C-alpha cells in the first residue's frame, strides 16, 4: 500500500512504497537525489544512478525503498519531511512527462501566462496554497452556518429572468425559449426562508461585467445566506461578524504554512467591527482628501481604500461596515430605514480596501413589496412565482453574501482576483482566450 510523503516520518527503518511527481533531480556522481512531490508535500528520494536513469522533472513515479533518518548536516528544516529520506530500491515510471515549458517550482510568469498554463501552474506549491486557503474559507462558512441552524441548499443557475437589473446578465439559448444565468441566489434564498427559516448556499453567481478590473470575475463563488425571524437588521451584521471572524480564525489555525508562503497575516479584530453610515464615510473622505463625494450613491474603489485606511488609523481595525445606502440605488427588495426612507437598512463589509460582503434587511410585507416593484418600474406579474412566498406569510428577514474569491484575495494580499479562482472567467477568457464569434 502506498504511503503519503507526509506520513513517511512514521515509517523509519521500514520498507514502504511512495508515489508522485518528480519535483527536481540533482545528480551527485553515482547518487541521484529526486524530490518527489505528492499532494501531501515533498520527500527526498536517494537512488543509485542506475535505477534513476532517464528520470526527469514531472515524471510520475512509484518508488519502493527504506525510510532513513537523514545525516544531521543534511536535515532540511524548511521541509516537513526534512529529517528523513527514502533510500530507493525500486523505481517504476508510471508515466513520462514531456519537457516543461518553464520551471514550475518558482513561477515567474505574467498573469496571462499563469492562466494560459493553468493546469500546469496549479502544480506550483504557492498556487495550490491559494486554493487550500479558499477551501478553508468555504468550509468555515458552511460549518458556522450549520452551527447557527441554517439549512444548506443548492441554488439554481438557469433562471427565467434577470433579477437584479438587466444589463449585466448572460443570456442562455434555452431550446426555443429565453433564459439567463443567475446573478445571485437572492430570490430563491428568500423563498426558502418561508420554508426552512434560515438557509445558506455555496453557489455560482454570474455577472456579464463588461470591463476588465482586478476585482471582477464573470463567474464567482458566492457564500450566501438568508435568515427569517430577525428582530432587527443588526442581527444580520452580528451574524456576518460571527461568520467572518470564524473564517479568519479557521484559516489562521489550519493554514499556517499557506499564510507563511504568502507572507500573509490574518487581521486582528478586537471587539466589534466599526460601523459607518455611507454619508458619514463620505464626510470623513471629504475631510481627509478634500474630495466631495457626498452625493454619490456608493463608494468607489478609491473611497473603499481611503475609508479602510481611516478605520485602521482610528479603530485599529482592518474591516469596516458601511451602512444605509440610498433606497434608489439598492435593489427593489431592500428594506427602507423607518427613520428616513431615502436610505435602506443595508450594509457592505470592507476589508483592506475592498468590499467582500453585501447584505441587508428585505421587505417582507407582500403589498409593500408589490408597490416597491412598481416604483422601480418592474412588473409584479413577472415576479408572480417569487411573490407567492410573500403573499402567504413571510417573517421579517434579511441576509448577506460573501464573495469567496474576494476574501481569499484580501487575506493573501493577491493583486488580482483571477489569482483567487482555479479557472477564472472574464470578458476575454474562459480557460483559453476566446475568439470573437464568426
Nearer to a second copy, 152 or 260 (CB): 152
The vertex-255 CA angle with 34 and 213, nearest 5°, equals 100
| Site residues (CB under 8 A) for a second copy, limited to 123-162 | 123, 128, 131, 135, 138-139, 149, 151-154, 156-160
When asked if residue 54 is in the footprint of a second copy (CB under 8 A), the reply is: no
Q: Single out the segment in contact with a second copy by CB under 8 A; choices: 80-88, 97-105, 251-259, 341-349.
A: 97-105
The helix-helix angle for 384-391 and 366-375 (nearest 10°) equals 150
Strands (E), 161-308: 171-174, 177-181, 198-206, 219-228, 275-277
Q: Reduced to 3 states, what is the DSSP secondary structure of residue 50?
A: coil
SS3 192: helix
In the complex, minimum distance from the CB of residue 151 to a second copy, in angstroms, rounded to a whole number? 7
Binding of residue 167 to a second copy (CB under 8 A): no
Q: Which residues contact 174 (CB under 8 A, 6 or more apart)?
A: 158
Stretch that binds a second copy, among 65-73, 166-174, 249-257, 278-286 (CB under 8 A): 166-174
Using CB under 8 A as the binding rule, the residues of this chain from 312 to 351 that contact a second copy are: none
Angle at 355 between CA 353 and CA 361, to 5 degrees: 145
Give the residue with the Cβ less far from a second copy, 26 or 384: 384
Handedness of CA 226, 228, 234, 239 (dihedral sign): negative
Measured from the CB atom, the residue of 58 and 252 that comes closer to a second copy is 58
- How crowded is residue 7: how many other Cβ atoms within 10 Å of its Cβ? 16
> How do strand 171-174 and strand 151-152 relate by DSSP bridges?
unpaired
If the CB atoms of residues 155 and 308 are measured against a second copy, the closer one turns out to be 155
Longest dimension (CA), the chain: 84
Nearer to a second copy, 285 or 369 (CB): 369
User: Measured at the alpha carbon of residue 396, what is the angle toward residues 196 and 247, in degrees to the nearest 5?
Assistant: 65
Residue 31 in the binding site for a second copy (CB under 8 A): no
Query: Least CB distance from residue 172 to a second copy, whole Å?
Result: 5
* Using rule CB under 8 A, residue 302 touches a second copy: no
Q: Does 21 bind a second copy (CB under 8 A)?
A: yes
Q: Which of 68, 80, 87, 97 binds a second copy (CB under 8 A)?
A: 97
- 16 contacts a second copy (rule: CB under 8 A): no
Smallest gap from residue 102 Cβ to a second copy (A): 11
Among 50, 72, 98, 287, the residue binding a second copy under the rule CB under 8 A is 98
The whole-angstrom separation of Cα 419 and Cα 409 is 8
Whole-number Cα distances in Å, 66 to 16, 23, 47 = 6, 20, 11
Closest CB to a second copy among residues 74, 94:
94
| Of residues 244 and 394, the one with the C-beta less far from a second copy | 394
Burial 224-250 (b: 16+ CB within 10 A, else e): bbbbbebeebebbbebbbebbbbbbeb
Distance CA 175, CA 194 (A): 32
Applying CB under 8 A, the site for a second copy has a residue count of 89
Q: Which 172-231 positions form the footprint of a second copy (CB under 8 A)?
A: 172-179, 181, 188, 191-192, 194-198, 202, 204, 206, 208, 210, 218-219, 221, 229
| Cβ-Cβ contacts under 8 Å for 363 (sequence gap 6 or more) | 333, 334, 335, 336, 369, 372
By CB under 8 A, what part of segment 220-279 binds a second copy?
A: 221, 229
Binding status of residue 420 toward a second copy by CB under 8 A: no
Smallest gap, in angstroms, from Cβ of residue 210 to a second copy?
7
Cβ contacts of 429-434, under 8 Å, gap ≥ 24? 429/115, 431/118, 432/116, 433/112, 433/116
CA 64 – CA 50 distance, rounded (Å): 15
Cell for 203?
453557489
- 39 touches a second copy by CB under 8 A: yes
Q: Of the two residues 207 and 324, which places its CB atom closer to a second copy in the complex?
A: 207
Q: Which stretch binds a second copy (CB under 8 A): 69-77, 263-271, 283-291, 426-434?
A: 426-434
Give dist(CA 229, CA 4) in Å, integer: 49
Minimum distance from CB of 392 to a second copy (Å)?
Answer: 5
Stretch that binds a second copy, among 80-88, 232-240, 324-332, 381-389 (CB under 8 A): 381-389
Based on CB atoms, which residue is closest to a second copy, 231 or 295? 231
Using the 8-state DSSP alphabet, how is residue 271 labeled? S
Interface pick for a second copy out of 58, 66, 234, 238 (rule CB under 8 A): 58
Q: Which of 348, 386, 407, 418 binds a second copy (CB under 8 A)?
A: 386
**Contact set for a second copy, span 356-375 (CB under 8 A):** 364-366
Amino acid at each position: 500500500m502506498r504511503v503519503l510523503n507526509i506520513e513517511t516520518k512514521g515509517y523509519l527503518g521500514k520498507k514502504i512504497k511512495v508515489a508522485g511527481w518528480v519535483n527536481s533531480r540533482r545528480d551527485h556522481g553515482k547518487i541521484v537525489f529526486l524530490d518527489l512531490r505528492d499532494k501531501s508535500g515533498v520527500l527526498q528520494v536517494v537512488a543509485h544512478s542506475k535505477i534513476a536513469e532517464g528520470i526527469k522533472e514531472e515524471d510520475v513515479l512509484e518508488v519502493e525503498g527504506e525510510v532513513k533518518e537523514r545525516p544531521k548536516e543534511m536535515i532540511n528544516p524548511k521541509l516537513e519531511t526534512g529529517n528523513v529520506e527514502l533510500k530507493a530500491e525500486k523505481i517504476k515510471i508510471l508515466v513520462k512527462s514531456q519537457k516543461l515549458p518553464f520551471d514550475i517550482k518558482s513561477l515567474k510568469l505574467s498573469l496571462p501566462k499563469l492562466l494560459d498554463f493553468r493546469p500546469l501552474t496549479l502544480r506550483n506549491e504557492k498556487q495550490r496554497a491559494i486554493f487550500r486557503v479558499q477551501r478553508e474559507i468555504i468550509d468555515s462558512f458552511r460549518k458556522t452556518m450549520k452551527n447557527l441552524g441554517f439549512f444548506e441548499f443548492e441554488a439554481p443557475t438557469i433562471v427565467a429572468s434577470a433579477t437584479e437589473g438587466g444589463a449585466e446578465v448572460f443570456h442562455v439559448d434555452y431550446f426555443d425559449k429565453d433564459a439567463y444565468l443567475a446573478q445571485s441566489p437572492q430570490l430563491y434564498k428568500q423563498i426558502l426562508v418561508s420554508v426552512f427559516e434560515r438557509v445558506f448556499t455555496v453557489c455560482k453567481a454570474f455577472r456579464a461585467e463588461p470591463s476588465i478590473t482586478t476585482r471582477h470575475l464573470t463567474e464567482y463563488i458566492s457564500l450566501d445566506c438568508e435568515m427569517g425571524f430577525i428582530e432587527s437588521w443588526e442581527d444580520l451584521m452580528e451574524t456576518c461578524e460571527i461568520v467572518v471572524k470564524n473564517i479568519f480564525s479557521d484559516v489562521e489555525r489550519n493554514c499556517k504554512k499557506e499564510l507563511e508562503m504568502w507572507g500573509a497575516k490574518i487581521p486582528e479584530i478586537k471587539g466589534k467591527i466599526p460601523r459607518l453610515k455611507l454619508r458619514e464615510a463620505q464626510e470623513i473622505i471629504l475631510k481627509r482628501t478634500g474630495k466631495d463625494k457626498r452625493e454619490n450613491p456608493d463608494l468607489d474603489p478609491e473611497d473603499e481604500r481611503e475609508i479602510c485606511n481611516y478605520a485602521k488609523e482610528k479603530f485599529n481595525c482592518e474591516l469596516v461596515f458601511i451602512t444605509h445606502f440610498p433606497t434608489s440605488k439598492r435593489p427593489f427588495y431592500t428594506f427602507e430605514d423607518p427613520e428616513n426612507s431615502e436610505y435602506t437598512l443595508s450594509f457592505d463589509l470592507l476589508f483592506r480596501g475592498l468590499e467582500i460582503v453585501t447584505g441587508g434587511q428585505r421587505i417582507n410585507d407582500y403589498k409593500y413589496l408589490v408597490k416597491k416593484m412598481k416604483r422601480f418600474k418592474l412588473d409584479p406579474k413577472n415576479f408572480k412565482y417569487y411573490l407567492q412566498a410573500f403573499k402567504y406569510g413571510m417573517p421579517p428577514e434579511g441576509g448577506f453574501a460573501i464573495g469567496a474569491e474576494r476574501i481569499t484575495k484580501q487575506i493573501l494580499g493577491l493583486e488580482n482576483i483571477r489569482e483567487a479562482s482555479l479557472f477564472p472567467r472574464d470578458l476575454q477568457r474562459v480557460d483559453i482566450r476566446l475568439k470573437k464569434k464568426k
